[in-house]
Amino acid sequence: MSISTHIPEHIQELAQQYADDTVAIRRHLHQYPELSLEEHETAKFICGRLDDYDIHYRSAVAGNGVIAEIQGQAETAAGSGRVTALRADIDALPIQEPAGLEFCSQRPGVMHACGHDIHSAALLGAGRILQTLRKQFSGTVRLLFQPSEERIPGGALGMIQAGALSSPPVGSVIGQHVNPDLPVGKVAFHSGFFMASVDDIFITVRGRGGHAAKPHQNIDPVIITAQLLSGLQHVVSRSADPLTPSVLSFGRVIADGAHNVIPNEVQIEGTFRTTDDIWRYEAHEQIRRISGAIAGSMGGSVDVDIRVGYPTVINEPSLTERLRSSAIEYLGHDGVVDVPPAMWAEDFAYYGREAAACFYNLGVGTPGKDNAPVHSPSFRAEESCIAPAAGLLSYLALTELS
């Protein structure tokens, strides 16, 4: 199949024709977010839209995942055996959304603060466009609505094990992620290393609690924890190669005593991210060793639980350059920019271990505004990004089949 010079304009017309419906899909998903492993209603809603578009799908994949396929019907042998996959994640975060948005979350303590509602709406919009155009292309476009991206071990592995990339095998996997630092109307690509690996760290510091007025009779796990938090930073500042990006951050400390009570134990939770797999596991051992040494030197003990998470996201260079060129064809030169790699993490990485994969950024920021980051209760996205996002996904899929 060769892409007609009229296809980009036709896709843009369809994207605008369906824009109101696609935005309405996003608003519904935003109002009714569900956490990882709990996306039951979200999956049911997605299946309902696929039914409306007469797109064949398989549900309950890896829990609440949905795999849909659109078969091209063009009467040509070229590209007929090719398969490309488009992926969106569907879960939300345990964040309380503040009031004020017209379609604010209706579920207390749960919010689409990472843009997965936009990813899913854009993929449904792309599916509708491709289904409309199915007589104009050959090959297969597979739509992957993936659950549980926000929770290790992630839903990507389960989707892959359930055949998301096989029978027949896909030639490429394409995903997008919102970026509030990028103005709406733009997308950004980066070839090669794009996102870091991530591991979750859970440490329990044990001492001997008692009255705060008699610290000499106790082994204070709070003070041990204070030393531990400082000491563990040496893993990054003194053990990591300065040319290898590494981050060790602790965001939760629970010392459940009282103003005059020293507790028996303290729990801390954090994240370790890096770009080098060999160093990654060396760092794990250092975290365990330093934690044990500091606690032991102060009379306490520790339990260190490191839960290995997602590997690095690697954008396959030749695929990335093809998609960048196709994006320029669709959006124009001004709509496509480069973006540096980041220490975010994504289970999209697993798809890239099985097939050529590319993960790019979708601009959702308001120009001239200090846009709140993802994973923030203040995160907002410009809805004008949704129709172009759906159209671009459609065009990238067709160019990959050509």
110 and 204 together in one domain: no
Give residue 4's pLDDT: 56
In a domain, 272, yes or no: yes
Q: Are 93 and 114 in contact (CB under 8 A)?
A: yes
* 302 and 331 housed in the same domain: no
Per DSSP, the residues of 292-306 read HHHHHHTT-EEEEEE
Indicate the residue among 259, 286, 308 that finishes a domain. 308
- In-domain check, residue 391: yes
Verify that 229 and 361 share a domain, yes or no: no
Check whether residue 208 and residue 89 sit in a common domain. no
| 85 closest CA partner among 185, 182, 167 | 167
Same domain, 69 and 172: yes
Q: Is residue 2 part of a domain?
A: no
- Return the bridge partners of 267, or none: 204, 254
58 and 189 housed in the same domain: yes
Among 273, 308, 343, residue at a domain's last position: 308
Catalytic residue among 34, 39, 89, 149: 149
- pLDDT of 7 reads 86
Whether residues 342 and 260 fall in one domain:
no
Q: Which of 111, 32, 89, 20 is nearest to 386 (CA)?
A: 20
Write the DSSP symbol of residue 338.
Answer: E
Q: 103 and 50 in one domain?
A: yes
Q: Give catalytic status of residue 91 as yes or no.
A: yes
Q: What is the pLDDT of residue 79?
A: 58
> 226 and 138 in one domain?
no
Residues in the chain where the model's pLDDT stays below 50: 1-2
Say if 336 falls within a structural domain: yes
Question: Domain check: are 394 and 280 in the same one?
Answer: no
pLDDT digits (tens, 9 = 90+) for 379-392: 999 999 999 999 99
Report cis status (omega within 30 of 0) of the bond before 153: yes
Is 383 an active-site residue?
no
**300 plus 385 within the same structural domain:** no
Active-site choice (89, 91, 117, 383)? 91
Give the C-alpha separation, 206 to 220, whole Å.
8
Is residue 338 within 8 Å of 244, Cβ to Cβ? Answer: no
Give the pLDDT of residue 1.
45
pLDDT of residue 77: 59
pLDDT for the residue numbered 2 = 46
Q: Are 173 and 165 in contact (CB under 8 A)?
A: yes
Q: Give the domain extent around 71.
A: 7-196+312-401
**Structural tokens at position 65:** 């995942």
CA 327 to chain centre: 21
Q: Is residue 335 part of a domain?
A: yes
Task: Measure CA of the first residue to CA of the last residue in the chain; give whole Å.
Answer: 5
Into how many domains does the chain fold?
2
In a domain, 151, yes or no: yes
Each residue's pLDDT tens digit, 280-301: 999 999 999 999 999 999 999 9
Residues 181 and 36 in one domain: yes
